[in-house]
Amino acid sequence: MLSPRTRYNRRMKLSTQEEYGLRCLLHLARVPGGQSLTIPEISKAEGLSVPNVAKLMRLLRMGGMVQSARGQAGGYTLARPPEKIILSDVLDLLGGQFFSSKFCERHAGRQNVCNHAVDCSLRVLWNTIQSVLHEVLGKITLRDLLCSEHQMADLLACRAPEILAVVQSARPIHTN
């Protein structure tokens, strides 16, 4: 049996880039009247380093999530209203998908092709999880996240039947 510490360390995680990038976007979404914020302001508010926020804002700007303006009144604002920014798009931009069809090619071990390429229970599992993640995150906007933890739990509970339908309809990806 695994110790509690080992079990904790083996959990799937979001990257810090994904987490911090979302926090920066949420901070911008909470600013009244679309007022712009500078990198140091976002950095201070979120407790992140200035270089890290600068990197995140560059990625978010290049991905069309934020826009920047130079000058004394410059800074960053959301490029679209919060209800038009889809969480799956943000996470794909910041870190990519949990599972893709290229996964098996990249994790074939010492072989060119995975030993389990023809019949793989793991591929079905990861593909199902990716489908569920995409379905859930594709229905959540930045505006949805501008709520309390309790309100978010209620929102997800209301969408549970849709999520279960995705699990039931998931089909294996055949990469050979």
Which residues of the chain form CATH 1.10.10.10?
A: 12-96
pLDDT for 100 = 60
pLDDT for 64 = 96
pLDDT for 62 = 96
pLDDT for 144 = 93
Residue with tokens 């010492």: 110
Q: Are 103 and 126 in contact (CB under 8 A)?
A: yes
pLDDT for 114 = 63
Residue range 12-96 in CATH 1.10.1050.10: no
Provide the 3-class DSSP secondary structure of residue 141.
Answer: strand
pLDDT for 131 = 79
Q: Are 55 and 49 in contact (CB under 8 A)?
A: no
Q: Which residues of the chain have pLDDT under 70?
A: 1-13, 97-118, 166-168, 170-176
pLDDT for 129 = 79
pLDDT for 46 = 96
Q: How far is the C-alpha of 88 from the C-alpha of 79, rounded, in Å? A: 16
